[in-house]
Structure 1
Amino acid sequence: MKKRLSFLLCFMITFYLLQAGGFRVSLQGIRQAAMAHTSAHTRDASVVFFNPAGMSFIPSKLSITGGMFAVITKAEFQSVNSLYKAKTDNPVSPPFNFAAAYKATDNLSVGLSVSTPYGSSVDWGKDWMGKNLITKIKLEAFFIQPTVAYKITDWFSIGGGYIFATASANLEKAISNINGSMKLKAGGAPGYGYNLGMYFRPTKELDVGISYRSEVKIKARKGNVYLHIPSSLIGTDKFATTTDRFDTNIPLASELTLGLTYKISKSWSISSDWNFSGWHEYKDLTFKFYQNKIGNDPHNPTISSSPRKFKNSSAYRIGTEYSPSDKLAFRLGYYYDESPVKDEYWNPETPSTDNQAITGGLGYKLTDNLYIDLSGIYFVGESRNIDNENAGFYGQVKSSSYMVGLGLSWNAF
């Protein structure tokens, strides 16, 4: 036992020396979301997304789970130079998750996760102050992750997998100096990556997971551009045509996670996570247009680039579960999620703030093999000052979000 704990401690120390930040809204497991989206849970196949090595500890040969959320997010902007205010009118977003895991042998497990870990839908309206930056945007990324895990000992397993991502984006903005507007649309943009994990159970009370998900760079090619401009400008040197194509790359951050779950008693457990996200790779957002010279690059006017210069960020999570009976479980949690966006580069396309969230939910065991879970999250974004000199955009912003999720888990046999 001492050897196991010493071995585990070495990994934990190494991890803490490496860690740093989180940005995306995390909704890849209904039960996990109710406990602040902590990750060291192996009741069912939902662990496939969080840590592939955890599949080795699922208490059934075949496990299938799925769920969906309804997300309502609001943001409010206040100008520093006037009493002007603007609010988003965002539609409800429906992120989902599905996972399956199968023990091929006593030591070898295989799994599949399909989810939407990245996505944003923001509508500021066509007449707001920042309309030349963005009026409306919808981003969505699907992750498909086939994974494998191998149980090296009774208390330690390793796992890994391949990530195939496909993304779509719709973006609208005004070109007010010519009384026009522009719409960008891209679909089926691919990206690739991998995930790795280790899972420890040195005692029957303690679970520890360490996982890493690589950066996934989305490469959009031949996206569609639609320009609505005065007819007198069509065919000029700058506006060759009202339809065009574009290319762009968008990095989705790497993520390192340490998760712990400790069973205080048979009916009560407590969990905590620390996430580090490598958003520093997102340095700029660049569009390469095929024909129209509507960019800002002095050497190539078909290129439009704006700085982002994201920073690495962290998220800190703690959650608990209490089961008064074998069938019923109550869950609570809290997390603090840092924004990777600096004040001087903040952009309304992603109204990012430091967030504090309260989570909760319950689970019910319908049969010996079937579980139903419900979760809810309310987070409030801390008010922040915007000082984007590059875009000439100044003010204050705050945000909030409500999320409700429902899911089923089936441990077949």
Structure 2
Amino acid sequence: MNVKSLLLVGSALLAATAATAGGFQVSLAGIKNNGMGGVGAGLALDQASMFYNPGALAMVRERGVQMGANATFARQAFRAEFGGDERNLRNSVVNPFSLFAGFGPAEGKWKAGIAVYTPFGSNLRYADGWEGRFSLTDIDLKSVFVQPTVSFAVTDQLSVGLGVAVLAYGSVNLQRDIPVTNSQGQYGHVELDGQAEHKVGLNAGVFFKPSEKLSVGVSYRSKIDATVEGGDVTFSNLPASAKASFQGTEFGVTIPLPATTTIGIGVMPTEKLTVALDVNHVQWSKYRSLDFTFNGPVGGATSSTSKRFYQDALTLRLGGQYKLTDAFTVRAGGSYDMSPVKDGYVSPETPDADRIGVTAGASYKAGEHFSVDISTQFISLQKRTQTQQDLLNNKTTDRVAGTYKTQIVIPGIGLNYTF
């Protein structure tokens, strides 16, 4: 039994950080930003600046509270290299959410706030009997980050900010079949379920607005090592002859969640029009391998290693908004997201590829203090094929050969109250 094929949970821990620079990131913090292609480092739009660039928070004119929620609907198709039916994901929906509360003196030099967001979250349920069932059948990942933030305007044009990003809650559930059958002809099955330890990172930024028509920002989110210790391992449908090789009950793994650096520019040609460009750089090259330990034999061994060898990746984002009336604003944008996953290293829990995104959004201000934001995103991952020969060449046969194609639709809504 190849232990490498048992668990891919480490990548699962990453399986959706803010749809930034491919891999596992999913940037769905601010509903306004979502409608503009995900830009934000070079803008001071609202309290969501705590996520995109804490340095811009001091330049946000209004204090306020905003809540946002998204729903991600993914359609993924897989066809094995050597033929067979096209396999589709069973239906699953993920609901990233966010909460931002900012306060401080209306005319003062500082602002502070608290941010709660879900940069990691994934739910994939492959078709029953699909060709990769011995690598993965189901994955469910949840996480909640809490970030207290302070921002200070050094001058009327320059501000800085710092947030302490705390992994307050993280859980993962991963399942796969085992290629042994019991007396009823059922394949063995393994389920991993665990919670990540609390960890702390930094989110810092600088924001510069030399004129009413131009703004520039730089932000940096630090690397965090996500660690699961004492996670539960549960087996089912094992024949008596195989149970001696599957006695482990707990697992441990540590995964680097990579650092991200973003440079953003905002241009305001008129009072009504804003255009912005962001470039994200994610240090995925820190993710070299996935290493597990078990408290007993799992497939005959108490540890395993699976190669990753990711490479650093970029995302380009472009978006804008136009104020049609005092109450109504429309937005649009797009993105090109480069995958960090090399050929021959694609795995079922993150069948990643270069992706193109198109976004739209709008806001309606109902009165002096209350407004509603909506956004929608369409993300298309390019078709990604890896052959059995690729897997043999890279010694990554813990994966499955074939072609993946994924499309995602993400509607979102946000509520804002300013004071």
Same fold (TM over 0.5): yes
Matched position secondary structure for 1:280: helix
- Is 2:278 the partner of 1:273? yes
Once the 2 structures are TM-superposed, how far is the Cα of residue 293 of structure 1 from its aligned partner?
Answer: 3.9
1:14 is matched with none
Cα-to-partner distance string for 1:270-313 (whole Å, 9 max, x where unaligned): 11111111111111222211122436xxxxx2002211111111
1:96 is matched with 97
**C-alpha separation in 2, matches of 1:344 and 1:120:** 22
Moved over 3 A (4+): 20-23
2:175 is matched with 172
Once the 2 structures are TM-superposed, how far is the Cα of residue 191 of structure 1 from its aligned partner?
Answer: 2.5
Gaps of 5+ in 2: 1-19, 182-186
Matched position secondary structure for 2:55: helix
1:111 is matched with 113
1:35 is matched with 36
**C-alpha separation in 2, matches of 1:322 and 1:235:** 64
Q: Aligned residues: percent identity?
A: 29
Q: Is the 8 A contact 1:234 1:240 kept in 2?
A: no
Q: Is the 8 A contact 1:334 1:357 kept in 2?
A: yes
**C-alpha separation in 1, matches of 2:351 and 2:91:** 12
2:231 is matched with 223
Once the 2 structures are TM-superposed, how far is the Cα of residue 22 of structure 1 from its aligned partner?
Answer: 4.6
Tell me which moved more, 330-339 or 169-178: 169-178
Once the 2 structures are TM-superposed, how far is the Cα of residue 370 of structure 1 from its aligned partner?
Answer: 1.7
Q: Is the 8 A contact 1:294 1:303 kept in 2?
A: no
Matched position secondary structure for 1:182: strand
**C-alpha separation in 2, matches of 1:393 and 1:230:** 23
Matched position secondary structure for 1:189: coil
1:15 is matched with none
Matched position secondary structure for 2:309: coil
- Where do residues 139-178 of structure 1 align in structure 2 (5 Å cutoff)? 139-165=141-167, 166-178=169-181
Once the 2 structures are TM-superposed, how far is the Cα of residue 73 of structure 1 from its aligned partner?
Answer: 1.1
2:80 is matched with 79
Cα-to-partner distance string for 1:200-247 (whole Å, 9 max, x where unaligned): 1110111211100001111101000001143513662x2336xx0111
2:197 is matched with 189
Once the 2 structures are TM-superposed, how far is the Cα of residue 187 of structure 1 from its aligned partner?
Answer: 2.1
**C-alpha separation in 2, matches of 1:110 and 1:361:** 27
Decide which of 400, 410, 413 is 2:417's aligned counterpart: 410
Q: Is the 8 A contact 2:22 2:354 kept in 1?
A: no
- Is 2:391 the partner of 1:388? yes
**C-alpha separation in 2, matches of 1:83 and 1:172:** 23
Amino acid at match of 2:294: F
**C-alpha separation in 2, matches of 1:194 and 1:42:** 20
User: Aligned Cα RMSD in Å?
Assistant: 1.7
Once the 2 structures are TM-superposed, how far is the Cα of residue 153 of structure 1 from its aligned partner?
Answer: 0.5
**C-alpha separation in 1, matches of 2:298 and 2:274:** 60
Amino acid at match of 1:144: V
1:207 is matched with 215
- Is 2:313 the partner of 1:306? no
Once the 2 structures are TM-superposed, how far is the Cα of residue 188 of structure 1 from its aligned partner?
Answer: 4.4
**Alignment CA distance shift 1:235-1:268 (3 Å):** closer
Q: Is the 8 A contact 1:190 1:220 kept in 2?
A: no
1:56 is matched with 58
